[in-house]
Structure 1
Amino acid sequence: MGKKGKKEKKVKGAEKTAAKMEKKVSKRSKREEEDLEALIAEFQNLDAKKTQVVETTCPPPSPRLSASLSAHPEKDELILFGGEFFNGKKTYLYNDLYFYNIKKNCWVKSEIPNPPPPRCSHQAVVVPQGGGQLWVFGGEFASPNGEQFYHYKDLWVLHLATHTWENIKAPGGPSGRSGHRMVLSKKQLLVFGGFHESTRDFIYYNDVYSFSLDTFSWSRLAPSGTAPSPRSACQMTPTPDGTGVIIYGGYSKVRVKKDVDKGTIHSDMFLLKREGKDGQEKWSWSRVSPSGSKPPPRSGFSLAVGPAGRAVLFGGVCDEEEEESLEGDFYNDLYLYDTVKNRWFPGLLRVSKAEPASDLTLPKSHCSKHGINDFQLHKNKYWQMY
């Protein structure tokens, strides 16, 4: 009984500390965000002058990072939205929209009136209902000098059948953030984690919110069990049976002394499981301990759900941080996680009989710190360069 009481006090204490830190960050960043709101409004005024949908066949999009790339729910197309680029002097934020036709190997830029304002590090999820929809939540906007940040808490939907953007104004959603994760689970969008940063302060989150695609309403979940520590840049994937989601890895930092922060790369894995029926759902956290050949610790990697309940992990970076320096090991390796067997194993590339081994090309080492616009598809068990 005593141990349980101490544990509960510890959890409540952590929640109070997080709430105080969020209030502190919010207060200090308010002025920064007010400055950037005027700049964002200018972009929106320019977009408001567009009244027609214009589609243009184009070269590949310009180099960028922290954009979203989603698979169309009904067509052999990929949808690219937003992102940022730093040329060494100035930071550029985008809200442009591209469609990549896989069969035709071509890009189309789609200019649709009243889009979300420019952003990066947001999350996008496609759903099949209504002829196909692309849902976008959160993200950040940065000043041209890259020293001030605005964190969005808005929710948008792109109706793919009619090519129209819609801003969904529903109360009770997550606070402004970037680096979070969002997935579709049954008829809900689940949002986990992320961070909010100002010039002097930052806070990382481990809260979970659900947006109902039936009622268009937000709710904050209160799962039982021990949650993952606060983090951003993790990956989240639905379980094959649709009863929950798996969260792996991520990054966070803490202030060890004035003006000195220490980063942590997480390599743990958790299951957020749903029990009960709609309207009376209960959620619980549990830690997952997979077997097999686990990927080395990293952040900034990508993760996609493949066939037979397997998730495919690619790339990332492992940073070595000192007080005044930052070095990183970049990866272009491939790992698969079997969600049914709870096991990791390395993805070994097989050469097609029609293609000599010497012609097999791996993608470059990628992570979220470089704006790269090369494009490759992993299909037929070997990499293809387009």
Structure 2
Amino acid sequence: MAFSLVRLTLSITLILSSFVFDVICFTPPPRFAQTSALIGNKIYYMGGVVPLPDPIISDFFYLDTSAIKSTDSSTLPWTNLTGLDNLFASWGTAVTGGANKNLFVLYGGRMTPAEEGSLVIVYDTNNNTWNKPTISGGEPARRRKTQAVIDNGGKMYIFGGSTSLGPGPGNTPVNDMSILDTVNWVWSTGTLENAPDARIDFSATILSNGLIVYIGGSTLNDRYVPMSQINTYDTTSDTWASKDATGQIPNPRGGHSAVLTSDGHGIIIYGGAVSISADGQYTAASPDIAVLDTTNNNFVWSQPKASGTAPPQIAYHTASLVGNNNMVIAFGNITNKGPSPNIYVLDIKDNNYKWITSMDNSTSSSNVGVIVGAIIGSIGVLILLGGGLFWFYRRRKTKEGVIETPGEFTDAGFARRYDTMNSATTSQASYDFSRNLASPSIESEPSKEKEFHPSYSHNFPVQHDPEIEDDDKEFRILPQELQPEYLEKKFGSNNGDDI
């Protein structure tokens, strides 16, 4: 039993220690084309593309944005969730779904062969489990390089994308609208009337009025959509529209990111690239930051200048708006140089754009130091508890070495009577044995009063306790060293009666 308790305590300690190690020491490798979704204060990331020989990775983790102090990747509060159910995914799209907005809903993309049959996979952030929901309605074809959005009612809107990644007849961009209800798990479709051309690598942003704004991207054969051409889908009326934007129009691009401005009336785009050469080389989009004002449904571009040290020019990254003031940009492909391992933060407060390397989260209720301290404290409590249980078990086993003579007794005064009687009995027995062994030739007159036999309980003194009622029986206890079996083995026997 003691061994089982110690083993259980050590097992729990190792599990908690492993969790602490993941919280403190995990740093995700460089990547691009990952999927992400902001759920509460945490940005969840899935997979992506890394340099060969393993181009697709199967990790899953989150960044606690409420505990970010510095954008240094080695100090960021990452938590690794890999191992719960390893999946390979890249070029997919994900949203925050469910009635309680606690689900990481992953759609499409490129996955392992074992998962290719699962178009939608869901991670529940409340119980940390993956599942493949049963969805009714007509399921659309798998697609990649698309961008989904979700409305306040939990409906996920998936437009465009491609049925393949590489060139050739299999690489077919589409222009249909698939709608997934992440509360009731039902597929439906939007109208194709006035829908824009099929495209990939665009950005999609939903406004507070339910209007989805599609910006940039490329059509078949890498023909990039002009940034002055803005396509919108009204989720309320199921209608498409096209608008011409004015102002400082940025250059075309694909693989860029987009988030809402602090007031919700504008869209900030960042990064992206265009492919203009046959050898697959890309050119970074210019400028890296542009803002589309959507006030009164009049679309006007501007190109603000951001202060601070700008990150390298990247594409195929992800971005999330955190706390209405910070655009958190993750990973991405540094143009013609490979994937990035870093997080970049653009402060957009009051439309004053500034690249920052630290964030003030002093008022946040979530803090990695507090979490880690609580876990370490729990480990200490478990160790102390295990030690206490082990000590109690050993003490109990020690007491079991004392054998009681038959008789009735009560619990009152047990400990005091035991100590007194054991001391008196042992002293008397030691004296009798030492005298007999020292003078074996001397015979003493037999006396019934002095007759001694360990099986006679009346040879031992009786201890009375005032707490015991008069009608209680006497209590006698015989130490183990005076049991007949023990004495016969040690000193021999005389017809089995006397010693």
TM-score of the aligned structures, taking structure 1 as reference length = 0.66
Match of 1:342 in 2: 353
Deviations 1:252-281 (A, max 9, x none): 0224xxx456411225211110233xxxx3
Cα deviation, residue 143, structure 1: 8.0
| 1:125 counterpart = 2:140 | no
Which residue of 56, 80, 85 maps to 1:60? 85
* Aligned equivalents of 2:99, 2:341: Cα separation in 1: 30
Match of 1:109 in 2: 132
Match of 2:282 in 1: 263
Secondary structure of the structure 2 residue equivalent to 1:111: coil
Match of 1:99 in 2: 122
Equivalent runs, 1:202-281 vs 2, <5 Å = 202-205=222-225, 206=227, 207-255=229-277, 259-260=278-279, 262-266=281-285, 268-276=288-296, 281=297
* Aligned equivalents of 2:146, 2:195: Cα separation in 1: 15
Deviations 1:111-168 (A, max 9, x none): 3242211111111101113xx2111111001289976310010101112232110011
TM-score of the aligned structures, taking structure 2 as reference length = 0.51
Q: Compare the two structures and name the one with the higher helix fraction.
A: 2
Q: 1:167 to 1:265 in 2, by over 3 A?
A: same
Amino acid at match of 1:312: V
* Aligned equivalents of 1:143, 1:260: Cα separation in 2: 17
Cα deviation, residue 354, structure 1: 4.7
* Aligned equivalents of 1:175, 1:250: Cα separation in 2: 20
Amino acid at match of 2:173: H
Cα deviation, residue 74, structure 1: 3.9
Secondary structure of the structure 2 residue equivalent to 1:352: helix
Match of 2:109 in 1: 83
Amino acid at match of 1:180: F
Amino acid at match of 1:163: W
Match of 1:355 in 2: 372
Equivalent runs, 1:42-61 vs 2, <5 Å = 60=85
* Aligned equivalents of 1:288, 1:214: Cα separation in 2: 32
Contact 2:108 2:119 in 1 (8 A): yes
Contact 1:95 1:115 in 2 (8 A): no
Cα deviation, residue 236, structure 1: 0.7
Match of 1:29 in 2: none
Cα deviation, residue 172, structure 1: 1.2
Give the structure with higher Rg (CA): 2
Q: 1:244 to 1:94 in 2, by over 3 A?
A: farther
Q: 1:95 to 1:202 in 2, by over 3 A?
A: farther
Q: How many residue pairs get matched?
A: 278
Which residue of 200, 225, 229 maps to 1:178? 200
Which residue of 300, 325, 342 maps to 1:333? 342
Amino acid at match of 2:291: L
Secondary structure of the structure 1 residue equivalent to 2:89: coil
Cα deviation, residue 202, structure 1: 2.3
Amino acid at match of 2:142: P
Q: 1:63 to 1:102 in 2, by over 3 A?
A: same
Structure 1, gaps ≥5 residues long: 1-57, 321-327, 360-386
Q: Compare the two structures and name the one with the higher strand fraction.
A: 1
* Aligned equivalents of 1:145, 1:122: Cα separation in 2: 16
Deviations 1:362-383 (A, max 9, x none): xxxxxxxxxxxxxxxxxxxxxx
Backbone CA RMSD of aligned residues: 2.9
Cα deviation, residue 181, structure 1: 0.9
Secondary structure of the structure 2 residue equivalent to 1:305: strand
Match of 1:323 in 2: none
* Aligned equivalents of 2:274, 2:166: Cα separation in 1: 25
Structure 2, gaps ≥5 residues long: 1-82, 362-366, 377-499
| 1:149 counterpart = 2:149 | no
Q: 1:263 to 1:94 in 2, by over 3 A?
A: farther
Match of 1:159 in 2: 181
Q: 1:347 to 1:138 in 2, by over 3 A?
A: farther
Cα deviation, residue 66, structure 1: 0.7
